[in-house]
């Protein structure tokens, strides 16, 4: 049944379009009412393409000169001239000139020239010119030109030029620029400036300047400047940042003002130092700091031969620098090391958590010395996989020592740290 309807529709539209091409141009005339079965089988007959109607009813498909009022089509409404009013069709509305008003179709609304108003369709809305409109479609909305308005599509929205408005799609949005933003289930693409938001489940891409917010489940990419915020579940990138980045991995070429906060943040013009230090628990520690002075990440590895054992561990931390005066700064850092005792890998829990409060003095542009107190918390599982008690002498001393019911031992003790950065 559905196949027969589609065939009938296709034949009807083909016949009406062929008939339209065959008509001679005559002066348009306005009529109050017309009724058509399939053009030219209607009250306007062979002159339908030169008649503008105030009320138009097409039982199957009709081709008319224009509309100033309302038009209803069982399958399709086709207008040679302009439309000003309301068009409702079971399958498609097709306007070849400028239109203004409301279009509702079961499958498709198509406008060859400028459209102003509202389009609602079950499948797609297509405008091949600049427009000022609201579009809502079950599948996709397409504007070939500028759009002032809003697009909502269950799958995708496309504006090939600037968008002065908003896009919302179940899968993806594309525009050349935007003033309010884009929201989608998978991806947003904007290849010029945007003022507003980009929110998506997977990724946002903007190749111009962005003033606003990018939020994505996986990645945000801005290839020019960002004045605002990037938040992602994995990776953020911008060439120039004036604002904030939050993600697992962040990259900024030039940070003008703000912060890049993540597990690993690399700011090309930011804070990058290597450090050699020692403390009461690990006699030698090599670490790398990356990010900004206000927030940086620490990657470290350290070792200590004590008690006829070799203790070593790899660690991660975060820190911040507070300027004091001249070349003197305060550093506050928190790090965590997984400590291995006399073996390459210790499977059990053996975490050395550490908070440092350090005073650093910059001797030269490339050399800084530092030192200060620390507070240490060692959290370890005192049993191995067979349930045997494991005695550890990693903590050089302690002011707190308690083993809990789950065989987790916690030791706390004060300490110190000192070293050089370059």
Digit-coded pLDDT (tens) for 286-296: 999 999 999 99
pLDDT tens sequence across 38-49: 999 999 999 999
The answer to whether position 369 is within a domain reads yes
Which residues on neighbouring strands pair with residue 183, listed in sequence order?
A: 168, 199
Cα–Cα dist 124/279, whole Å: 67
Please say whether the beta carbons of 73 and 94 come within 8 A: no
Q: Which two tokens stand for residue 389?
A: 């008690």
CA gap 157, 230 in Å, rounded: 23
Residue owning tokens 């031992």: 409
Query: Does pLDDT of 7 surpass 70?
Result: no
b/e string for 50-78 if b means 16 or more Cβ within 10 A? bbbbebbbbebbbbbbbbebbbbbbbbbb
* Residue 34 covered by a domain: no
Does any domain span residue 335? yes
**What local confidence, expressed as pLDDT, does residue 2 receive?**
52
Asked if residue 405 has pLDDT above 90, the reply is: no
**CATH number of the domain within which 309 lies:** 2.40.160
Proportion of the chain above pLDDT 90, given as a percent: 84
Judge whether 151 lies within some domain: no
Q: ω before 93 within 30° of 0 (cis)? A: no
99: exposed, middle or buried (Cβ count in 10 Å: 0-12, 13-18, 19+): buried
φ/ψ region of 410 (left if φ > 0, alpha if ψ in -120 to 50, else beta) reads: beta
- Domain membership of residue 295 as a residue range: 271-421
pLDDT digits (tens, 9 = 90+) for 76-105: 999 999 999 999 999 999 999 999 999 999
289 in a domain, yes or no?
yes
pLDDT of residue 178: 86
Is the pLDDT confidence value at 147 over 70? yes
- pLDDT score, position 25: 47
Residue 119 in domain? no
Confidence of residue 407 (pLDDT cuts 50, 70, 90): confident
**Residues 176, 162 contacting (CB under 8 angstroms):** yes
Burial-class residue 262 by CB neighbours within 10 Å (0-12, 13-18, 19+). Answer: buried
- SS3 for the chain is CHHHHHHHHHHHHHHHHHHHHHCCCCCCEEEEEEEEEECCEECCHHHHHHEEEEEEEEEEEEEECEEEEEEEECCEEEECCCEEEEEEECCEEEECCCEEEEEEECCEEEECCCEEEEEEECCEEEECCCEEEEEEECCEEEECCCEEEEEEECCEEEECCEEEEEEEECCEEEECEECCEEEECCEEEECCCEEEEEEECCEEEECCCEEEEEEECCEEEEEEEEEEEEEECCEEEEEEEEEEEEEEEEEEEEEEEEEEEEEEEEECCCEEEEEEEEECCCCEEEEEEEECCCCEEEEEEEEEEECCEEEEEEEEEEEEEEEEECCEEEEEEEEEEEEEECCCCCCCCEEEEEEEEEEEEEEECCEEEEEEEEEEEEEEECECCCCCECCCCCCCCCCEEEECCCCEEEEEEEEEEEEEEC
Query: Number of structural domains, the chain?
Result: 1
Check pLDDT > 90 for residue 348: no
Q: Residue 347: how many CB atoms within 10 A of its CB?
A: 10
Q: State the pLDDT at residue 8.
A: 47
Of 202 and 23, more confident: 202
Instruction: Using the structure block, give the residue that is written with the tokens 């958590």.
Output: 353
- Average pLDDT in the 324-346 region? 93
C-beta neighbour count of 251 within 10 angstroms: 20
- Does pTM top 0.75 for this prediction? yes
- Is the model's pLDDT at 305 over the cut of 80? yes
Q: Summarize pLDDT for 248-293 with one digit per residue, the tens.
A: 999 999 999 999 999 999 999 999 999 999 999 999 999 999 999 9
Q: What is the pLDDT of residue 389?
A: 75
The phi and psi torsions of 195 (rounded to 5 degrees) equal -120, 110
Mean pLDDT of the chain: 92
């Amino acid at each position: 049944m559905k196949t027969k309807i589609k065939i009938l529709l296709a034949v009807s539209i083909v016949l009406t379009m062929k008939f339209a091409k065959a008509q001679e141009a005559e002066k348009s005339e306005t009529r109050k009412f017309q009724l058509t079965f399939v053009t030219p089988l209607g009250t306007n007959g062979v002159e339908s393409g030169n008649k503008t109607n105030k009320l138009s009813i097409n039982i199957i498909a009709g081709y008319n000169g224009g509309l100033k009022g309302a038009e209803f089509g069982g399958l399709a409404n086709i207008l040679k001239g302009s439309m000003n009013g309301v068009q409702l069709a079971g399958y498609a509305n097709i306007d070849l000139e400028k239109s203004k008003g409301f279009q509702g179709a079961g499958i498709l609304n198509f406008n060859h020239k400028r459209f102003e108003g509202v389009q609602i369709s079950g499948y797609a809305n297509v405008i091949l010119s600049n427009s000022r409109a609201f579009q809502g479609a079950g599948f996709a909305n397409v504007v070939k030109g500028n759009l002032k308005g809003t697009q909502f599509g269950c799958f995708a929205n496309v504006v090939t030029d600037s968008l002065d408005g908003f896009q919302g799609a179940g899968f993806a949005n594309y525009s050349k620029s935007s003033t309010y933003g884009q929201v989608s289930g998978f991806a947003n693409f904007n290849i010029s400036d945007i003022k507003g938001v980009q929110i998506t489940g997977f990724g946002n891409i903007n190749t111009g300047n962005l003033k606003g917010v990018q939020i994505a489940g996986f990645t945000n990419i801005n290839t020019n400047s960002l004045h605002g915020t990037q938040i992602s579940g994995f990776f953020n990138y911008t060439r120039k940042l004036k604002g904030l980045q939050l993600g697992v991995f962040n990259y900024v070429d030039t940070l003008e003002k703000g912060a890049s906060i993540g597990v690993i943040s690399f700011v090309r013009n930011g804070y990058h130092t290597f450090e050699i230090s020692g403390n009461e628990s690990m006699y030698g520690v090599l670490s790398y700091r990356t990010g900004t002075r206000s927030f940086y990440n620490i990657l470290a590895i350290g070792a200590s031969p004590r008690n006829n054992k070799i203790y070593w561990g790899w660690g991660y931390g975060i820190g911040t620098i507070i300027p004091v005066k001249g070349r003197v700064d305060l550093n506050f850092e928190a790090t965590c090391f997984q400590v291995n005792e006399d073996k390459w890998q210790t499977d059990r829990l053996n975490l050395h958590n550490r908070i440092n409060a350090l005073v650093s003095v910059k001797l030269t542009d490339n050399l800084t010395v530092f030192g200060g107190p620390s507070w240490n918390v060692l959290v370890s599982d005192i049993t191995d996989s067979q349930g045997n008690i494991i005695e550890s002498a990693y903590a050089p001393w302690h002011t707190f020592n308690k083993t809990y019911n789950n065989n987790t031992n916690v030791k706390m003790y004060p300490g110190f740290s000192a070293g050089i950065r370059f």
